[in-house]
Chains A and B, each alone.
Chain A
Amino acid sequence: MSKKEKPHMNLVVIGHVDHGKSTLVGHLLYELGFVDEKTLKMLEEEAKKRGKESFKYAWLLDKLKEERERGVTIDLTFMKFETPKYYFTIIDAPGHRDFIKNMITGASQADAAILVVSARPGEFESGMSAEGQTREHILLAKTMGIDQIIVAVNKMDATEPPWSEKRYNEIVNTLKKFMKSLGFKVDQIPFIPVSAWTGDNIIKRSENMPWYKGPTLVEALDQLQPPSVEKWMKLPLRIPIQDVYTITGVGTVPVGRVETGVLRVGDKVVFMPPGVGGEVRSIEMHHEKIQEARPGDNIGFNVRGVGKGDIKRGDVAGHPDNPPTVADQFTARVFVIWHPSAIAVGYTPVVHAHTASIACRIIELKQKLDPRTGKVVEENPSFLKAGDAAIVTFKPLKPMVIEKFQDIPPLGRFAMRDMGKTVGIGIVTDVKPMKVEIKLKK
Chain B
Amino acid sequence: MSEATSEWQISRKQLKELLKELEKWSAPATTLLSLYIPPGRPVGDVMELLRKEMSVADNVKLKKTREAVKAALTAAMDRLKRFDKVPPNGLVIFCGVNPDTEKLECYAFSPPDKVPVFFYRTDKSFHTEFLKDMVEEPEVYGLILVERGKMLVGLLKGSNIEILREATGFIPSKHHRGGQSQRRFDRLIEQAAEAFYKHAGEVASEVLLPYLEQGRLKGVLIGGPAFSKQDFLEAGGLDYRIKQKVLGLYDVADVDEHGFYELVQRGYNEIQGQKYAEALNAMEEFKRHLAKDTGYAVYGKEEVMEALRMGALKSILIPEDHPELEKIKEEAEMYGTKVIPIPEGVPEAEWFKKTFGIAGIKRFK
Q: Which residues of A contact B (CB under 8 A)?
A: 63-67, 70, 72, 74-75, 77-78, 96-101, 243, 245-247, 308, 339-342, 344-350, 357, 359, 361, 382-383, 385-386, 397, 417-420
Contact = CB atoms under 8 A, between A and B. Distances in A.
11 contacts: A64-B186, A64-B189, A64-B193, A67-B174, A70-B226, A75-B174, A344-B355, A347-B348, A350-B253, A361-B347, A383-B290
Nearest to A398: B256
B265 A419 contact: yes
Contacts of A247: 177
Interface residues of B, number: 42
Given A340-B284, A418-B262, A345 B176 contact: no
Contacts of B64: none
A101 B254 contact: yes
A49 B175 CA distance: 24
Contacts of B62: none
A65 B254 contact: no
A49 to B, nearest CB: 15
Given A97-B251, A382-B355, A418-B262, A348 B175 contact: no
B251 A350 contact: no
A63 B177 CA distance: 12
Interface string B37-64: 0000000000000000000000000000
A340 B280 CA distance: 14
Contacts, number: 111
A342 B288 contact: yes
A342 B254 contact: no
Nearest to B187: A65
Contacts of B190: 64-65
Contacts of A97: 251, 253
Contacts of A246: 172
Interface of B: 148, 170, 172-177, 186, 189-190, 193, 225-227, 231, 251-254, 256-258, 261-262, 265-266, 284-285, 287-288, 290-292, 346-352, 355
Nearest to A388: B291
B291 A350 contact: no
B253 A98 contact: yes
Chain B CB within 10 A, most for which of A72, A78, A308, A344 = A344
A346 B350 contact: yes
B287 A341 contact: yes
A346 B347 contact: yes
B50 to A, nearest CB: 43
B176 A350 contact: no
A345 B258 CA distance: 15
A29 B46 CA distance: 79
B226 A99 contact: yes
A418 B347 CA distance: 14
B347 A341 contact: no
A102 B25 CA distance: 46
Contacts of B176: 245
Contacts of A96: 225-226
B174 to A, nearest CB: 4
Given A63-B175, A101-B253, 19 more contacts: A63-B174, A64-B189, A64-B193, A66-B193, A67-B174, A98-B225, A101-B254, A340-B284, A341-B291, A342-B291, A344-B287, A344-B348, A344-B352, A346-B350, A350-B256, A357-B254, A359-B254, A359-B256, A420-B262
B251 A98 contact: yes
Given A63-B175, A64-B174, A72-B226, A417 B253 contact: yes
A64 B148 CA distance: 11
A344 B347 CA distance: 9
Contacts of A357: 254
A420 B351 contact: no
Contact of B347 (A74, A339, A347, A386): A347
B170 to A, nearest CB: 7
B173 A243 contact: yes
Nearest to A384: B291
